[in-house]
A and B are shown apart, each in its own frame.
Chain A
Amino acid sequence: ILNVEQSPQSLHVQEGDSTNFTCSFPSSNFYALHWYRWETAKSPEALFVMTLNGDEKKKGRISATLNTKEGYSYLYIKGSQPEDSATYLCASRYGNKLVFGAGTILRVKS
C-alpha cells in the first residue's frame, strides 16, 4: 500500500507568521501531486496540482514546490491570516488512484 506522509500533524501560529508543511510520497511511478484546503463544515478545495520535478506554483500568499526525485512537496503560507485556518491535504496520484496523506491542521490566532 502506498503511503503519503504529512508533517506536522498540527500547527498553531500567530497572525502574520509565515509557515510551511511537508508532504512525503513514494517517488516511483509518480504522476502528480495535489494540495487541497479543507475548511470546517466545507468540502475540500483544490489549491494546486503539480506534475514536474522543480514545479513551483503560487496562489496569493500560498505557494508550493515539488521534488519528484526525492519524493516531497512543501506548502508555504506567507503572513498567515485567521481565514487560513483549515486542514491542508496532500495527495499523490499513482495511475487512476489518488492517495491522500492524513493532513496538517493549521490554526491561526489573531
Chain B
Amino acid sequence: DGGITQSPKYLFRKEGQNVTLSCEQNLNHDAMYWYRQDPGQGLRLIYYSQIVNDFQKGDIAEGYSVSREKKESFPLTVTSAQKNPTAFYLCASSSPTGASSYNSPLHFGNGTRLTVT
C-alpha cells in the first residue's frame, strides 16, 4: 500500500542536541510538507518542497532545516537553535504541484512526537 512513513513515533533528546525526523513516501508525490502541532493550535507549516533539490520556508522555519535529495524523502532536522522544540511533527505530501495542487488533498504520516529535556 502507498503511504507516508514517519519514524520514529517517539523521540527523546537532550537540550542542545540536533535531531533528525524521517519522512518517506511511496506515493510518487512531488510536494512534501512538514507541520508542527502544539496543544490548542492549528498545524503550522515549517518547510515545504515542491520538487527535488528545492524547498521553501514556511511560517515557523527558524531553528529547523530540511533537505530534498530524493523525491521520496524529506527529512527534518530540529537544531539546537529551535527554542521550543517539544511538539508533535507531521509530514505530508500532495500531487500535483502548481495551480493544479489547489484541489489536491494532503496525505499525512502518523507523526513523530519529539520531547526535548
Contacts and interface: CB of A to CB of B under 8 A. Distances in A.
Contact of A43 (B33, B45, B59, B111): B111
Interface residues of B, number: 26
B43 interface: yes
A97 interface: yes
A107 interface: no
Contacts of A102: 40-42
B102 A97 contact: no
B43 A100 contact: yes
Nearest to B110: A43
A51 B44 CA distance: 22
B114 to A, nearest CB: 17
Given A4-B42, A99-B42, A49 B50 contact: no
A101 B37 CA distance: 11
Nearest to B33: A98
Which of B33, B108, B111 has the most C-beta atoms of chain A within 10 angstroms of its own C-beta?
Answer: B108
Given A42-B110, A96-B56, A51 B103 contact: yes
A102 B41 CA distance: 5
B108 A43 contact: yes
A36 B90 CA distance: 14
Given A42-B110, A43-B110, A44-B108, A89 B102 contact: no
Interface of B: 4, 33, 35, 40-45, 48, 50, 56, 58-59, 90, 101-111
12 contacts: A44-B108, A46-B105, A46-B107, A49-B104, A91-B42, A91-B43, A96-B48, A97-B45, A97-B58, A98-B33, A100-B35, A102-B42
Interface of A: 1, 4, 6, 31-32, 34, 36, 42-46, 49, 51, 89, 91, 93, 96-103
